[in-house]
Amino acid sequence: MTKRKKIVTWVLVGILGTGLIIALTHRRQPVTLRGSVLRQDVDPNKQLPLADVQITAINGLGSGKTNSDSLGFFSLTLPKGLRRRQPVLLQFRHKDYKSLDWDDFISDKLYVARMMPTRQETMPSPIPTPRSQTPGSGIR
């Protein structure tokens, strides 16, 4: 083997060895889904955050669960097998709201879910006001 072939061989062995070491020591960080859960309403002022909503992420490779906090925020760390760009089913559950199932792809975006209440709030009936009496109307 010529000197040049030996140098090329050792360089290739060094590159492959370095790549193998990096591949074995470099661990992928788990993916975390972050977002907020709001009450669905046509009036933006009534779209309030929902606390204690159970959020479940389901994929063929695994699943994860969490609950929203008092500000409606949630942070859900997925199992190590789940990666970005894979499909995921997000389920949002709360006893006072209609269930929401959301098909999406795993990414770093902010997820904002809006849930409909199970019963619509009715406007309170106006309090009947007594008929206004004009002064002297009751005098004979």
pLDDT at position 27: 58
From the list 104, 54, 110, the residue with the least C-alpha distance to 82 is 104
Query: With 90 as the cut, is the pLDDT of residue 117 above it?
Result: yes
pLDDT in tens, 72-96: 999 998 877 777 888 899 999 999 9
Instruction: Give backbone dihedrals phi and psi of 61, rounded to 5 degrees, phi first.
Output: -95, -15
pLDDT in tens, 14-72: 787 777 766 665 556 778 899 999 999 899 898 999 999 999 998 887 788 999 999 99
Who's near 80: CB < 8 A, 6+ residues apart?
A: 28, 30
